[in-house]
Amino acid sequence: MTGFDSIQVRFKNTKNRPSPFANTRVVPFVDSYLTVLKSVVDEVTTEYFWFFANFMDLKTLDLDYIPEQHESNQIHVWYNTHPLGGINKEGNVFLIPTAEFKRQVKDLKYLRDFSDINYHAHDNLFQNLITKTSFKLSNPYKSYEKNQDYYIWLHNQDLSVNDIPKFYPSFWEDVKLYTWGKTNDIMLVPKKDNLAQFYDIDRIVNYDLDYKTRPMDIVFISYDEPGAEKRFNKLKARFPRAKWSQGVQGQTFAYMAAANLSSTEYFFAVFPKIDLVDSFDFSFQPDRLKNPCHYIFDCHNEVIDCTYGHAGVILYNKSLVMTTTNPGLDFTMSQPVTSVPILSAVSKLDESPWLAWRTAFREVIKLKLQKPTVENNFRLKKWATLGKGVQAEWVHKGAVDGVKFIEEGNDPYMSYNFDIIKKIFEQRYG
C-alpha cells in the first residue's frame, strides 16, 4: 500500500466505514468536496493524497495505484457502475496530485473545473445504499420527516420502485434536491435540519423522466340548485370519472361527503353555479414540493365582471378536508391554499332570484370579515355595484344585504345555514 497521505470526509447521518489506511485524517463534510479540500490541502506532505467519503468501502480498490507519467498531473476519481448502488461519474474516491492541485486551487469555482480529471469506472465499488420509501400525495413531506440518512429516495406510492433512476448524488458542489419528471414524483432529498418544506432547499435540479401520473377524482357538489342535474350530466359526458355528491347541507358536511366519494388523495370540486370553460381539462397536479394545501382556480363572474377564485373549481387535499372539523367562515380558507391563475369556469347566477341573492349575500359576508387588502376591497366594490344580466338586481341586493348583516352585528356563521338565510330573503322580498 502506498504511503500517501489520506483524508476521509465524514458525513453526518450515514454509516461510517473505516479507512483502510493507517494514518487517516478525518474531516467533516462542509458545502462541497472543493470547500473541504481547500481547508486541508496545505497540510498534505506527500506527492499524492487519497481523498474519500466515509460511506465508501475501498476493499475492492487498488490502493497501490500509481499514476503513469502522462497521468501525473491528473485528479483520478473512481465511481461505481453497479446499478444496485446508483451511478454518478462525479464519484467519491480520489487520488489527487498535491503540487498541481495547490497550483490550480485558487482558480477553481467547482472541483470539475480542474484542468485534467481521469474518471475510472468501477463495477464493484461499494457505497452505502440510499433508502427508498414511498410517499402519499396528500403529504410527501411526512415520509421525509422519518428520514435519518444523509439522503433518501422518495417516490409517489402510485409508482414502482423500478421507476427510480440508477443515480447517486454528487458532492462536487453544494448539496441539492434532485427531482425527476414534470410532477416531481421521484425525489432524492438530502437530510436537512429544521426543514419546513422541500422548496426551502437552496438548490433543486430536475431531470426529464416519463411516467404516468394518476388523474385526480372529480366530484360535483350540489345542494338545491335548479340546474344541477343538467350541469352534472354535461360534466359526466365530458369526464366520465366525475361523481356526484348532492343534498348535503352545511359546507363542512358537504365537503366531507365529497371527500368520502374520492379514491384519490386530492379531488376536484365542481359546483353547479358554473359553466366550465373548454380549456380546463382537470389535468392539473398538486405540487409535490409544497406543503399540503388546497388549490383554487379562477372563475369569471359575468354579472359583476370580476375574475378570481369565487365559485371556481377547487382541488381539495382530501386529508385536509377530513381534518377540518372546526372551520372558519370560509371552509376552504381554513387550511393553507394556493391560488392558481388558470381560468376554470364562468359563474352562472341567472337561474333564480334566490340563488343570485344567496350567492352574493354569503360571498360579501366572507369578504367583509377577511383582511381588508386592496384585492378584497376591490372585490367588495364590484359586488356592491349594480352589474348586468337577468339577475343583476338580485346580486346587488344580496351584496348590500350581506354588508348590512355584518354591520348590524349578526353572527356571520348564520350564513352557513340555508334555512336561516332563506327566511331573511323571504321576509324582505316575499
pLDDT digits (tens, 9 = 90+) for 223-243: 989 889 999 999 999 999 999
**Rounded CA separation 184/285 (Å):** 10
pLDDT digits (tens, 9 = 90+) for 333-353: 999 999 999 999 999 988 899
pLDDT of residue 329: 86
**Rounded CA separation 171/177 (Å):** 12
pTM, two decimal places? 0.90
pLDDT higher than 70, residue 1: no
SS3 222: strand
**Rounded CA separation 305/375 (Å):** 14
- Supply the DSSP string of 273-328, one letter for each residue: TEEE-TT--S-----TTSPS-EEEEEEEETTTTEEESTT--EEEEHHHHHT-SS--
pLDDT of residue 216: 98
pLDDT of residue 2: 66
Which strand (E) or helix (H) includes residue 93?
strand 93-97
pLDDT higher than 80, residue 286: yes
**Rounded CA separation 227/351 (Å):** 7
Domain 217-429 has CATH 2.60.40: no
pLDDT of residue 319: 97
pLDDT bucket at 162, cuts 50 / 70 / 90:
confident
**Rounded CA separation 77/48 (Å):** 13
pLDDT higher than 80, residue 3: yes
Question: Among 153, 297, 102, which residue's Cα sits nearest to residue 143?
Answer: 153
Domain map (residue ranges) of the chain: 5-127, 132-207, 217-429
- What is the distance in angstroms between the CA of the first residue and the CA of the last residue of the chain? 99
By DSSP bridging, strand 337-347 and strand 274-276 are: antiparallel
Q: What is the mean pLDDT of residues 362-384?
A: 94
